[in-house]
Amino acid sequence: MARLLVTGGAGFIGANFIDYWLSKYPKDEIVNLDKLTYAGRLKNLLKWQSHPQYSFIKGDITSKADINLAIKNVDIIVHFAAESHVDRSIDDPMPFVKTNVAGTGVLLDAALRHGRKRFHHISTDEVYGELGLKDPPFNEKSRMNPRSPYAASKGASDMLVKSYYTTFGLPVTITNCANNYGPYQDTEKLIPRFITKLLSNEKVPLMSEGENIRSWLAVVDHCQAIDIVIKRGQVGESYCVGGEEKTNLEITLNLLKILKKDRSWIDFVWNRAVNDFRYAIDDKKIRKLGWKPKYSFKHGLENTIDWYKNNEWWWKRTGIKEALNKIWQFK
């Protein structure tokens, strides 16, 4: 039986992780520390809000007082809390520096002072920069080359985490994951944005010609990867977690096909200042621990569309009366 502190647990991946963990390990306890910014919603966790093994603290990872309160009697820290949107980081980089770098530093320092807590850090493949079409995928030995303030802030936090292992012996691990998709993802992100627009009979704004390539992974498969690294990973190590490579145009066409719409629903728009061409991950290292994704992209996308269809109460912001009857489990 373990007690986990999950930072950012009201966000997209954090909420899915809490659901995954408490469903799989019902004797464990989870403390969810979240600032409740626009991306953090307690209604993501309605299923667990009255559960005896779950508790919530509204707090900021940059606050030593908040961290000292949340970390009491904790065995494992799983650190999701982060500013995570590239466009927002271009508009205003400083919140990303404060939360992703300084906040991670405050959390690491508390983990060290409170008895060298086991610390798992959630990061991104974007810290490695971009790839050309024929370049080999990134792996754990790839050089960091972040190209946006968001990616740079995550790369800095990765290095800070590793420094606490090297300098102080703090038992840390890191996962650098592909793009996630699934339930409870904010509609500013590509897949839920396009799904909800199409469900609302609106065109989807596809940047440039949709040529940019990303690796995509169902969020539940990411949660399983974190679980495996916490339980079987070697401390001090990073693990890359991959997905299926798709162009943004392929994603869009898949959504149109499933929702029975044609290409006239695409509105091609300007490209942003920094939009890396391709990300791809070589995840052989984590597969040696026994991890592999359960969901194909096709299956995961169909499940995700079904969730947004069946949970308009969540994304239309029309209230939560239907929530208790609409709690969704990944198929």
Catalytic residues: 125-126, 150
Whether the Cβ atoms of residue 192 and residue 255 lie closer than 8 Å to each other: no
CA 318/CA 325 separation, integer angstroms: 15
Whether the Cβ atoms of residue 217 and residue 243 lie closer than 8 Å to each other: yes
Among residues 87, 109, 73, the alpha carbon closest in space to that of 189 is found at: 87
Number of Cβ atoms within 10 Å of the Cβ of 159: 13
CB proximity list for 149: less than 8 A, separation 6 or greater: 89, 90, 93, 96, 97
Residue 55, helix vs strand vs coil: strand
CB under 8 A, 24+ apart: contacts of 90-95: 90/148, 90/149, 90/272, 90/273, 90/274, 93/149, 93/153
Across 179-224, the runs of DSSP E, i.e. the strands, are 179-181, 204-207, 213-218
Among residues 109, 89, 111, 87, the alpha carbon closest in space to that of 98 is found at: 89
Structure tokens at 146: 């972040």
Scan for tokens 């024929």, then name that residue: 134
